[in-house]
A and B are shown apart, each in its own frame.
With several copies, the nearest count.
Chain A
Amino acid sequence: MDLTREELLEAYRTLRMIRAFEEKLNELVTAGKMGGFLHLYIGEEAVATGVCSHLGVRDWVASTHRGHGHCIAKGVDIRAMMAELFGRATGTSRGKGGSMHIADVQQGMLGANGIVGAGIPLATGAALSAKLKGTGGVAVAFFGDGATNQGQFHESLNMAANWKLPVVYVVENNGYGEFTPTDFVVPVKDIATRAGSYAMRSEIADGMDFFDVYEKAGEAIRRARAGEGPTLLECKTYRFAGHFVGDPLAYRAKEEAEDWIQNRDPLARFEGQVLEAALVEADDLRRIDHDVEEELAAAVVDAEAAPPPGLEELLTDVYARGES
């Protein structure tokens, strides 16, 4: 494994930040301090972190309704994210987008997306840009198992395969689309199989294991950058919380969830792995935990104090004309 101590600590910091950020959101929404439809990524942190560890600003990411983790891993400022979730003018979208539309195009983040499957062609287009403009960048689309039943998935992967675009399609197979178990609606055992329709490479990673994701994503991204075309990377994972904050979770068995949460938590797994191999010290991790908490607390304070967008903002940003 080729990660330096700094890189490992950075990865842990991202894992922890995603976890803590969303625990904070859960708290805030449950307390009635934050509105909107929120979909938590808790449990799936290793996927975003493992993939995005390979990306820089010239690379593009398109995300989903469950997008906080991808945004954090892609380097979006968490203060601006928090402010966005509070609907403030200092938010990533100046308070006009909310959870499902957090974006930072400067940072290569093409946005969370409220339409299941819609990020897939966006990433495909970003890959086309990178290829034609010769930037050396790659594009990554994150999406769920459910999204692989959308026509946009099929049409995009086919185009990318035909054109050998520098793109990696990362499917986060968490076993459910909303309340419906994946095996009700996807008749193949592994979603990776679906790459076969496009003669595309595919790979399966343990989405609860940062290192497995890191390695397999690294290889796919390397191939994409080298002009060897796209990959479909399936990461087997699980969402620890409900589909959205407030979901009573009536549709899944408690033992099933308990098992994942107790035995396959990606943060605990990472910690065990790096401590066992003595790559970092427990203290390093605790310091990060602490820093993350402080940073988040400050982000909440800042966000709450920030001004909302003015009412004139209702009509701005509809068109570029006059503003460019």
Chain B
Amino acid sequence: MSRVLSVSQAINEALTIAMETDPDVILLGEDVAGGGTRSGDDVEEAGGVLGTTKGLVTKFGPDRVLDTPISEMGLIGTAVGAAATGLRPVAELMFIDFLGTCLDPLLNQAAKLRYMFGGKVRVPLTVRTVTGAGMQAAAQHSQSLYWMTAGIPGLKTVIPSNAADAKGLLLAAIRDDDPVIFCEPKRILFQAGEVPEGDYEVPIGEAAVVREGSDVSLIGMGATVATALEAAELLAAEGKSAEVLDLRSLAPLDEDAILATLEKTGTVVVVDESTPRCGIASDVAALCVDRGFDFLNAPVKRVTAPHAPVPYNKALEDAYIPSVARVIEAVRECGI
């Protein structure tokens, strides 16, 4: 059985299930309850700056849904400490742009404690965070910094492209014994899709072929999966068959799935909303030219944001985000 829910609602549902099934799961973050717990007849809680956690403090109480100060370093560090000592915290980093104010607890603590302690600790922490451009929120509220967390050994990073995966990936993330960064792409947060009822997980580390094809592989993640699918549709109209792979997990990367689609089509275009340097697109390309070398029929093209901050002006912002047209153009450059 499934219903139509937005990605945001699917996340709310996953949180509800996780908290119902495990008393050690707690939420903490800025405004995750949202003030209203204070009292008063005409006040109610906000449930997060985008409303994603609405209702949870009412259901689970302020001991398990904690409004924190605007102290990312402190709150993520506290969540790491809680995770190492028996809780299974889900911390909210309002926007991934704020990684700059809480990198150390992720980079040097969550990611490394297990290794540094010779395997003698677990850090079952989940960090939910909103990513990406598209709402004219400008340079400090629009980044796709998942490459930074994906590059850190000891962390996992996932990003859903639809509501059903959002629910299943988040449940998997929360129940994972390692720290997982769960990305919520702004542009799809309020997009609706079929979501199965009940408790299920989408395994971390598995990409999904969301459209089969044979001439070219379009590889996307988060909001760019829809871009890739649109491009595939246009290509189909010209009789060209594009396969679309949704990475879903950025770390670990599903190398087998990438190599499998490359083997099938010989041509890969990666579509990534992030900036071009040191990103997921480069990793996919590097994998193709290493283990996939013998399958390559064409250059591996990367359709990414430019090496620039995100601009405010709407037309510039639109030009900043990988478009269907740029995907098609990249496919052409591969000789298809």
Contact = CB atoms under 8 A, between A and B. Distances in A.
A155 B137 CA distance: 27
A233 interface: no
Contact of A184 (B38, B44, B87, B118): B38
Contacts of B113: 103, 111
Contacts of B319: 311, 314
Interface in B21-56: 24, 26, 30-31, 34-36, 38, 40, 42-46, 49
Interface stretch (A87-95, A199-207, A260-268): A87-95
A35 B104 CA distance: 26
Interface in A83-134: 84, 87-88, 91-101, 103-106, 110-111, 113-118, 120-130, 132-133
A294 B67 CA distance: 44
A22 to B, nearest CB: 18
B178 A123 contact: no
Contact of B122 (A84, A99, A123, A320): A320
B297 interface: no
Interface string A120-164: 111111111110110000010000001101111011101100110
Contact of A156 (B63, B77, B119, B120): B77
B35 A181 contact: yes
Interface string A66-87: 0000000000000000001001
A118 B108 contact: yes
* Chain B interface SS verdict (over half): loop
Interface stretch (A7-15, A245-253, A297-305): A245-253
A286 interface: no
Nearest to A320: B177
A181 B35 CA distance: 6
A216 B119 CA distance: 36
A110 B36 contact: no
A122 B80 CA distance: 6
B140 to A, nearest CB: 3
A150 B178 CA distance: 27
Contact of A97 (B75, B156, B312): B312
Nearest to B121: A105
Nearest to A178: B31
A305 B304 CA distance: 32
A128 B81 contact: yes
B74 to A, nearest CB: 3
Nearest to A123: B81
Contact of A177 (B24, B30, B121, B156): B30
A106 B139 CA distance: 22
Interface residues of A, number: 86
A279 interface: no
B312 A318 contact: no
Given A120-B77, A314-B316, A318-B307, A150 B100 contact: no
A202 B34 CA distance: 30
Contacts of A133: 24, 86-87
A60 interface: yes
Contacts of A106: 120
Contact of B69 (A111, A128, A155, A253): A155
Nearest to B113: A111
Contact of A98 (B49, B136, B176): B136
B17 interface: no
Given A97-B116, A178-B49, A316-B119, A115 B140 contact: yes
Contacts of B35: 176, 178-181, 184, 251-252
A101 B87 contact: no
A105 B82 contact: no
Contacts of A162: 69
Nearest to B120: A105
A308 B313 contact: yes
A103 to B, nearest CB: 5
A99 B139 CA distance: 11
A324 B177 contact: yes
Given A311-B319, A314-B316, A103 B82 contact: no
A319 to B, nearest CB: 5
B282 interface: no
B38 A250 contact: no
A136 to B, nearest CB: 13
Interface string A270-284: 000000000000000
Contact of A179 (B34, B42, B153, B308): B34
10 contacts: A36-B138, A93-B116, A93-B120, A96-B316, A113-B109, A115-B140, A121-B105, A132-B26, A152-B104, A178-B30
Sort A-B residue pairs by CB-CB distance and give the 4 closest, nearest first: A125-B81, A121-B77, A155-B74, A98-B312
Given A149-B71, A319-B114, 10 more contacts: A93-B118, A95-B312, A105-B121, A106-B120, A110-B81, A129-B81, A159-B74, A163-B66, A184-B35, A320-B122
